[in-house]
Amino acid sequence: MDRLAALHGRAKAGWIRAEIMLAALLMAGSLAMVLTAGALARELGTRYAPGEVLFLRFLISLAVVGPAALAMAGRRAVVVQRPYSHAIRAVTGVAAALIFYAATQRLPFADLVALSYSAPIFVALLSRLLIGERVSPLSGACIALGLLGVFVVAPPTRLEVWSLAALVMAALNAVCILVTRQTARSDGPAATALVFVLAGTVLTLPAAMVDFKTPSLADGPTFLLLGGAAGLAIILNVLAFRRAPAAVLAPIDYLGIVASMAIGYLWWDETPTLSMALGGALITAAGLAGALSASGTARRL
């Protein structure tokens, strides 16, 4: 009996390790797709308006997210219990993405990505106000450390309009993240992903029509890659979080700050600055510590 229990325990532990490893690979793939989509959007942004680029991204993403969501949840993928929460998530998420696409033409890619990773800081700041979660002393310290990193990347003495816009983007992303926690609990990740892409397509259509320019044949494949990468990023992210908690996956996600510096250097010959490297490291440390703190709190509850 003891031998069988031991074998069962080892098999279960091996299965958990395999699930975590798979989740890590899925998260790494999602991160790669996010950065690819950001780089492609920046490239297309030199020739097309941000609203058009974002609209076509959402529209093409439907071809990836739609079938995947229906395969995962069937009819439940199109049935929601919190329509108002989905509306708030869509508006804040689309507004944040629109700012990101516009800012790609005004800020170095690595700086913009680093500032976007300050969203968890705003999550901690807004969580008490929006969903009643208390901020622990450790979370408060993480907020202070993260804000220090933000000030290093974009110091107040040389704060520009688009640096401020990037911080607004991070705050909007934080609201989107907090609302996503509620919608995912009640409606599931598949419906949350599909409704967001559908709503994003509808919301960005007016902005696209303001200054729409028919894509050239040469740019057609780039738009397809952009939409495909963005849609695949959503699906891989959903699959990753179904297999492992946020604290396990957070270290992989924060590799995006380092990867963005490499992309900026290789794609646009942008040399990372010392302030970018130091500030990015502080934001990463704050985000990881915050994720570990939240995980520990959750285990104690």
Residue scoring higher pLDDT (39 or 287): 39
Residue scoring higher pLDDT (53 or 291): 53
Can you tell me which residue has the tokens 């097309």?
Answer: 48
- φ/ψ region of 270 (left if φ > 0, alpha if ψ in -120 to 50, else beta) reads beta
Could you tell me which of 194, 168, 229, 279 has the C-alpha nearest to residue 37? Answer: 229
- What's the pLDDT at 47? 94
Report, as an integer, the average pLDDT of 134-144. 68
- What's the pLDDT at 162? 84
- What's the pLDDT at 272? 80
Can you tell me which residue has the tokens 């899925």?
Answer: 26
pLDDT tier, 300 (very low <50, low <70, confident <90, very high otherwise): very low
Percent of the chain with pLDDT over 90: 31
d(CA 227, CA 208): 15
Report, as an integer, the average pLDDT of 149-168. 77
Question: Which residues lie closer than 8 Å to 220 by C-beta, 6 or more apart?
Answer: none
pLDDT tier, 122 (very low <50, low <70, confident <90, very high otherwise): confident
Instruction: Look up the pTM and report it.
Output: 0.81
d(CA 230, CA 53): 12
Report, as an integer, the average pLDDT of 260-270. 89
3-state secondary structure at position 146: helix
Report, as an integer, the average pLDDT of 150-171. 79
Which of 108-117, 128-137, 207-216, 279-288 shows the lowest per-residue confidence on average (mean pLDDT)? 128-137
Residue 59 is classified by DSSP as H
d(CA 14, CA 8): 10
Report, as an integer, the average pLDDT of 12-22. 70
58 touches 101 (CB < 8 A):
no
pLDDT tier, 268 (very low <50, low <70, confident <90, very high otherwise): very high
Residue scoring higher pLDDT (140 or 279): 279
Q: What single-letter amino acid sits at 76? A: R
- What's the pLDDT at 177? 79
Question: Which residues lie closer than 8 Å to 272 by C-beta, 6 or more apart?
Answer: 110, 261, 264, 265
Question: Which residues lie closer than 8 Å to 90 by C-beta, 6 or more apart?
Answer: 195, 196, 199, 200, 203
- What's the pLDDT at 301? 38
235 touches 73 (CB < 8 A):
no
- For the record, the structure tokens of 271 come out as 């040399």
- What's the pLDDT at 119? 78
3-state secondary structure at position 93: helix
176, pLDDT greater than 50: yes
200, pLDDT greater than 70: yes
d(CA 22, CA 140): 32
Average pLDDT score over the chain: 81
